[in-house]
Amino acid sequence: MKRSNIFWLFAVASAAFTVLVVASLAFLFWQQLPPTEKDLVARLAHDYIGYIFSAAVFLLAGLGFALDWLFRLYILPLDKLAEETRLIHSVNPSHRIHLEGSRDIVRLVNIINESADQYEYLNSQLNTEIERARADADEEKNILAAVMAELPEGVLICNKDGRILLYNKRARRYLVGEIGSIESSDVSPGRFIGLGRSVFGVIDKHLIVHALDEIARKLKSEDADIASYFVTMGADQRLLRVEAVPLLDHRRQFTGFVLIFRDITRQMESGSRLNVLLRSLGRGTRASLASIRAAIEAIIEYPNMDSGKLQKFKEIIHSETITIGRIIDDATSSHFINLRSYWPLTQMSGRDMLAATARKAEEILGIDILTEAADEDLWLKVDSYSIISALTFLQKQLIEVTGSHRLIYKMAREGRFACFDIIWEGKPVRPETLRKWEEQPVAVDRQALSSTLKEIIEQHAAEIWSHAYKDRQKAYLRLLFPVAESVENGRIRNLTILPKSRPEFFDFDLFSQPGQRPELDQHLLPELTYTVFDTETTGLDPQGGDEILSIGAVRIVNNRILREECFDQLVDPRRRIPEESIRIHGILPEMVTGQPPIEKALPSFLQFSEDTILVAHNAAFDMRMLQLKEELSGVRFSNPVLDTMLLSAVVQPGQKDHDMEGIAARLGISIVGRHTALGDALVTAEIFLKLIPLLKKQGIATLGQARSASRKTYYARLKY
């Protein structure tokens, strides 16, 4: 309970006790009087009742004024003194106390201000030393940042939950394009990359889970190459080849993973052009080669033919060779061939492919698999995710047709090819049935690929057919894969193990962050991820038709403002902007012309703020503006919300001024870009970070405690 409340409670109790004592004494005195004196006192009280009442009122009024004087000179200044002293030691050493009160209070204020001068000086000296040490550390960090930025590959590091800990600019460009602010007039929900965000927002979760499963298997079997490879689509239709590498702590426990991206779009385009070229060469030269072959066979078969016929055959051969040469010249001049281009396939041992396929089939289809071990030196070039998904899909179709739930896998080498047989008891699959399967998109266990079975088989330069054994008791599907002649050298990834003590130039505290879980109210405030936002509007009456003109937001991760990860979007209000509001925020009608309406802007902001706590100043107003657009936009913000105005009232209840300027002045925060949505969001973020230690000093450490304390403030009654 506050000191002022205790004082008034004590004053009321003291007054009541005094009245009770006086009344008791008067009653005892009355009982001791003889009857004649009682009559005299009664007549006097009756005759002078007005004077007696007035004297009592003046006495109580005097007592009240005396108590108020004591309260204002001694009690109220103590509450403010405690609040402002806490400001000096917690967030703003340059703050000084200015209070009116008793002589003792003023003397105490002067002593505290003198101590604050010394504290500020010592704090300044300490900060200078800290800044010097930080500059040395930052120099090493900047070297790392420069190296990361200039790497030819995109690099992204995640913890074991898939939360992003580090990324370089190339990874951001590959995955989401240029991001930071949204300036396009055609806004639609996109992909965001940022510290603390889930990597599954930019890469299909199934691909990463498959890669991590493969890594776990390789770690268990102690393979030399512990990396896993897959291909995914990035921004601007980029085709990315991804290499996933695990991170282990000093106890060799899995603690995260690294994703390395290479843009293979051009190589794939070159490969596609090469494929078209080879097909065109095949079609164009087939007839000419047939004519040449027929002519040569005729010459061989009839060596004694007359010279006239022989000359005609020679002319045919000469003409067709010229035709072939022209076709080759035309094809090579119209197609650029990059001889070093390659398909996005990686090497995988035959044994690993059999084991991975069997494991997925047993898990998803619930069938029994008997595997005959393949040769140790048998290697294939595959995209493991797509080919294993395709094989699982193929077996699913096979079960539906044959009814067999027991299959046998067999892989053997025949020359330059590997034969992967799926064997069952029963009749073979008809060729027309197999062709129907090939035309279907691959979909297994609610996971759908964009490719058909035929496209995946062709991508691997493989063939498939159905056949029966001689005894007709068993049948099999055979997939014929080209054999990788030798294991690629020079590309094996060494295992990355984090040291027990952290190097000075790294600071990946997010490795130990608990992440976002449903029980958010139990989390400490510094552990959470926040989206601090603000809106600029046509006016202050949401119910009266005022509209949002601009949304600005910035993220706080690991108790740090990420100024590069911001959201800044103008919105077309589709109504007139009043002159009085233009004078405040400076947003002119021509600035919002062509910008997206609110129903297109809000889905992007929802995705930007996903899995975070929303923070705003006077959040009731901004949230009301968003809530009124739920039906129109189909977007509902269910994030927990904190309000810096309410939190300021919690930590400084003795202050009357809780607007943004007043709070910033007390906390020593400079205001830049006031009355722009992004500028106000940045100031609000700084205010919020400085309020967290003040809340902790009052025993408010978790999100749930902060929300509960906010609801008890006077300002929480504001409604819009």
Find tokens 């009321």 and name the residue: 12
Q: CA-CA distance, 710 to 693, in Å (whole number)?
A: 16
Residues 205-222 as b or e (16 or more Cβ within 10 Å = b): ebbbebbbebbebbeeee
Which residue among the candidates 89, 206, 335, 675 is catalytic per the annotation?
675
Q: Please answer whether residues 640 and 611 qualify as being in contact, where contact means their C-beta atoms are separated by less than 8 angstroms.
A: no
Say which residues have a Cβ less than 8 Å from residue 151's Cβ, sequence separation at least 6: 168, 170
**Long-range contacts formed by 112-119: CB under 8 A, 24+ apart:** 112/81, 112/85, 112/88, 116/88, 119/88, 119/89, 119/93
Beta partners for residue 475, in sequence order: 424, 468
For 470, counting Cβ atoms within 10 Å of its Cβ (0-12 exposed, 13-18 middle, 19+ buried), the class is exposed
Q: Detail the DSSP E strand segments found in 291-415.
A: 346-349, 368-372, 379-382, 406-414
Q: Is 103 exposed, middle or buried (0-12, 13-18, 19+ CB in 10 A)?
A: exposed
In a 13 Å sphere around the CA of 100, the CA atoms on its Cβ side amount to 2
Distances (CA, A) of 681 to 74, 356, 671: 39, 50, 11
* Total count of residues recorded for the chain: 720
Strand partners, 717: none
**Is residue 196 a contact partner of residue 163, using CB atoms and an 8 Å limit?**
yes
Q: Is 694 exposed, middle or buried (0-12, 13-18, 19+ CB in 10 A)?
A: buried
Give 452-503 as a DSSP string: EHHHHHHHTT-EEEEEE-TTSSEEEEEEEEEBP-SPPPS-PPPPEE--SSPP
CA dist., res. 27 & res. 23, Å (int) = 6
**Pick from 340, 395, 333, 338: nearest CA to 369:** 395
What span, in angstroms and rounded, lies between the C-alpha atoms of 52 and 22?
14
CA 606 vs CA 189, 409, 567, 610: distances in Å: 8, 48, 11, 6
Q: Is 206 a catalytic residue?
A: no
Instruction: Catalogue the active-site residues.
Output: 675
